[in-house]
Amino acid sequence: MQPATILLSHDELLYLLYIAKIPSLPGMAQNPLATLETEQLALTLSAGQRGLLSKQLLDFENNSPIVETALMRIILFCSINQRALLFNHTNATNAYSAVLHLRDGVMIRHAMMERGVHTFTLFRTPEELLDTLMKLLSMGNMQEAHEPAYEFELSGAALTNARIAMQTPNINSDTVIERLVYARLSQTQARALVQSLGQDFISTISLNYLFVQPDPSPIDPYIGFIQDVRGWWLMEPLEHDMNPAKSIFHFSRVSSAQVFSRLKTFFAHLLGSSADPSR
């Protein structure tokens, strides 16, 4: 069974936030309605209302708006403070971001697409979520090979600087390797990482918390992967730091099967008993 998905325009979502008196959702601009002038606000709400009516997701009773029950429950679910993860996937041509909302065994993905389109997807099992995440990755371009068991530590700042340098026309790969060696990688380790960030690059995937309630201390705050044509780098923070840019990461070379297993373990730590907000 496919995960259940609801697609909304930006105006439709703002209308729902307006009538539910919700300022914003995690991952969106803070209080987007407050930034609109009176005339623009009226146009936005009118467009949102018409769109929801045309989709039969909205009705009126005694001049009061009645939103389709499952949709409103999903919006309210995403607005409540809970475990929320920012998911990023970047390849050579596109970047994709979504917020994963997790509570009581329920998983809802709020993806903010191009042209102001929002999709809310309800996953009923961790396997549904993992299958969807893995399908986003360009697995078909990979020819996994047996490689040395590279392992090293590197700061998030050093990795970001290396990525930026690799995209700068007047900086060659040897310069980036030298910078990584200065950051205490060996020549072999630095060359392998630069190759993954350069000519062999396919994509990156990362998950990190926007906020966590209750106590976040027992839960890994971040997990990341770099995918190239030969396999994957697994990035795990050495400390429970909520800011990946300030973290020191342990890097290790892993296979696709290990990526799936590690993600499965990551989500298993987050999810409790199942509860379906569409009921």
In the chain, where the domains are located: 4-136, 141-268
Q: Are 86 and 27 in contact (CB under 8 A)?
A: yes
Sequence-ordered list of residues with C-beta below 8 angstroms from that of 20, at least 6 positions apart, any chain: 67, 72, 75, 76, 79
The string of pLDDT tens digits covering residues 242-277 is 566 678 899 999 988 888 888 878 777 766 533 344
For residues 240 and 216, the answer to whether their CB atoms sit within 8 Å is: yes
The pLDDT, as a whole number, for residue 274 is: 35
Residue 9 has pLDDT above 50, yes or no: yes
pLDDT of residue 186: 95
**Cα–Cα distance for residue pair 102/40, rounded to 1 Å:** 34
- Tokens linked to 106: 């329920």
Q: What is the pLDDT of residues 62-113, one digit of tens each?
A: 999 999 999 999 999 999 866 788 888 888 777 778 999 887 778 899 998 7
**CB distance 119 to 12 below 8 Å:** no
Other beta carbons within 10 Å of 219: 14
Residue type, 50: R
Return the pLDDT at 247: 80
Q: Distance between CA atoms of 87 and 107, rounded to whole angstroms?
A: 13
The dihedrals phi and psi of 255, each to the nearest 5 degrees, come to -95, 170
Q: How far is CA 242 from CA 27, 71, 72, in A?
A: 16, 31, 30
Name the phi and psi angles at 186, rounded to 5. -75, 165
Share of the chain above pLDDT 90, in %: 46
